[in-house]
Structure 1
Amino acid sequence: MPLRSLIDLFLLAALWGASFLFMRATAPLFGPIALITLRVCIASLFLLPLLLMQGGGSALRQHPFRLLLAGLINTAIPFVLLAYATLSLTAGFAAVLNATAPMWGALLGYLLWQEPLARSRLLGLLVGFSGVALLVWDKVSFKPGGSGLAVVAGLAATFCYGLASHLVKRQLAGVRPLAVACGSQLGAALCLLPLALWQWPAVHASTAQWGQVVMLGVGCTGIAYILYFRLLSQVGVARALAVTYLIPLFGILWGYLLLHETVTLRMLLGGLVILLGVALATGVLPRARPASPR
């Protein structure tokens, strides 16, 4: 991988890992719905001029309902669920849960679209969900003060990501990636804005807290999308998806350094098992082949 692409990969992982830090810091103040509405509105305002300057505005007019659906399933619902999860879970823990998205994608592809699932990929699903069980074993409590609902919300968010990956691939094939990114943010904003205005909290945020919200929208969403699509064009899908394995590392790192979150041995072991399962389920680790006769 070229050095510039490698730098883009690590910067993208750092930004997406930081999104859990910013949600963890600001969700208690703004609430999940208002925070994510601000995030997608800021991202839309950042991405729309870039798309229009590249002459991609026609894609928004040609596929309004498909982009709205993508915005709902790939952005609005999972973003709100993850913001809700960070009310109870640490940024690092939520980032590790986020790594299960490719497993859901592989499972849904097999169940709903009959995509082939080799034995090694099936083993990956079993390994990955075993890692989830190890990770959340002492967290799934639905008693008052427990984190059970937060864990369920985090996994439901990654389920949405897995489902959206197939819907976008089938419904928006051929649409330029920046148009999909911008359109999905606009769609998410349209879905969330009425609800946010209806339930807008009385917020007394500091300048630093507003800066975190802006960074969440511009850096962790707008700039991150640009980096991701540049990676797709330069190194292809398989290598670009390597960011999946780096996001939990940065999520844990930022939470430890900036929020002084505790990193437990179970979190590390569960995360490693999940990543191993993701690697197997997505075909990153190829099956061993018998040696050919000389």
Structure 2
Amino acid sequence: MTTTSDAPGTGTTSPPAAWLPLAACGITLVMWASAFVVIRHVAHDVSPGALGAGRLLVAALVVLPLVLRKGWVRPTSREWWLLAVGGVGWFGIYNLALNAGERHVDAGTAAMIIQIGPVIVALLAVPLFGERMHAWLLGGMLVGFAGVAVIARGSTTDADASLVGVALVLVAAAMYAVGVLTQKVLLRRIPSVQVVFVSFLMGAATCLPFASDLPAIVGDGGAELWWIVYLGVLPTAVAFTTWAYALTHTDAGKLSLTTFLVPGIATVIAWLLIDEVPPSLTFLGGALAIVGVLMTRRRPRAAA
């Protein structure tokens, strides 16, 4: 969700027990992975808009007390524009595309495709932030997108998956990249909890026009509603908190690498709970996507 934290410096405070940040990281990864499985489970019973709008509204309610406690920083007009881009893109279009995509591809496949997001971040950072295009970045992009192509090829051999689903999840990955880049600017001055709160609301507003079935779902109070509540509370609001805690007490670079475990965890959960496993070729594509991301994080050696 986000890789930043508002926690204050530790100062003279004793560091937490070594297992606590590790536990927080593990809880976060499991909750994020479970989101792919839950979305897949209810995808054909709840519209993409209702699933996204309900999830984001619940998450906004959960983090509201944290926003009130932290205090409000008034955004500038430029920051409001960035909040709108990030909120509509990352939280709005992302949820619509992912929810629709998981009607066609399984949870593990979707989680693997989303891993291409950091490659798109690195690509967009070149024109937007003046970061240099180098051989590792170019090679990583080629390998990463080759991985997505392999995933797409593997999905077309499965009766319950399609190229449309792969394309939709790839759109979600691109929107993730947009959100990361807008946050990179916003978090220089605005608390991260405020950024995600506003983004939740803007994302929900984006999803609501496509959520005509949401009032009926709320009125019925059935299982679909409680799955939406689960998505809003645990993989969205609580996972943000546990990830921020882990980030406060762990090296950011090392912690970010743990997100590569999400597709594997999602695949295991999907296998155990909904008896679903991605096509075999998808695993090769997922591995290529991860290698591509790792390549983009390499930096060329400085000239002697």
Give the TM-score taking structure 1 as reference length: 0.86
Structure 2, unaligned stretches of length 5 or more?
Answer: 1-16
**Letter aligned with residue 296 of structure 2:** A
Say if 2:226 is the partner of 1:208: no
Say if 2:272 is the partner of 1:257: yes
Distance 1:236 1:190, change over 3 A: farther
Shift of 1:210: 2.6
**Letter aligned with residue 57 of structure 2:** C
Q: Corresponding residue for 1:161?
A: 176
- Specify which of 133, 148, 159 is matched with residue 132 of structure 1: 148
- The C-alpha deviation readout for 1:121-155, integer Å capped at 9, x for no partner, is 222111111111111114359xx986122111100
Say if 2:23 is the partner of 1:7: yes
Q: Does the 8 Å contact 1:10/1:246 carry over to 2?
A: no
Shift of 1:289: 9.3
Distance 1:232 1:135, change over 3 A: same
Give the TM-score taking structure 2 as reference length: 0.84
Say if 2:111 is the partner of 1:103: no
Q: Distance in 2 between matches of 1:162 and 1:133?
A: 19
Shift of 1:11: 1.3
**Letter aligned with residue 270 of structure 1:** G
Distance 1:100 1:254, change over 3 A: same
- The C-alpha deviation readout for 1:167-188, integer Å capped at 9, x for no partner, is 2212442211111121211221
Say if 2:32 is the partner of 1:20: no
Q: Does the 8 Å contact 1:66/1:172 carry over to 2?
A: no
- The C-alpha deviation readout for 1:76-106, integer Å capped at 9, x for no partner, is 1111100001111101110111111001001
Say if 2:201 is the partner of 1:186: yes
**Letter aligned with residue 180 of structure 2:** S
Q: Distance in 2 between matches of 1:117 and 1:231?
A: 31
| Identity over aligned pairs, percent | 25
Shift of 1:28: 1.3
Q: Does the 8 Å contact 2:88/2:199 carry over to 1?
A: yes
Shift of 1:189: 2.0
Say if 2:67 is the partner of 1:51: yes
Say if 2:70 is the partner of 1:37: no
Equivalent residue runs for 1:174-253 within 5 Å: 174-193=189-208, 195-196=209-210, 198=212, 200=214, 202-203=216-217, 207-253=222-268
Q: Corresponding residue for 2:107?
A: 91
Secondary structure, counterpart of 1:30 in structure 2? coil
Q: Distance in 1 between matches of 2:194 and 2:53?
A: 19
Q: CA RMSD in A?
A: 2.8
Q: Corresponding residue for 2:166?
A: 151
Q: Corresponding residue for 2:83?
A: 67
Q: Distance in 2 between matches of 1:6 and 1:71?
A: 29
Shift of 1:110: 1.9
How many residue pairs align between the two structures? Answer: 285
Q: Distance in 2 between matches of 1:139 and 1:166?
A: 30
**Letter aligned with residue 112 of structure 2:** V
Q: Distance in 2 between matches of 1:287 and 1:61?
A: 37
Distance 1:265 1:148, change over 3 A: closer
Structure 1, unaligned stretches of length 5 or more?
Answer: none
Q: Distance in 2 between matches of 1:183 and 1:260?
A: 37
Q: Does the 8 Å contact 2:48/2:211 carry over to 1?
A: no
Q: Does the 8 Å contact 2:87/2:201 carry over to 1?
A: yes
Distance 1:181 1:123, change over 3 A: same
Q: Corresponding residue for 2:133?
A: 117
Distance 1:240 1:59, change over 3 A: farther
Decide which moves more: 12-21 or 58-67.
58-67
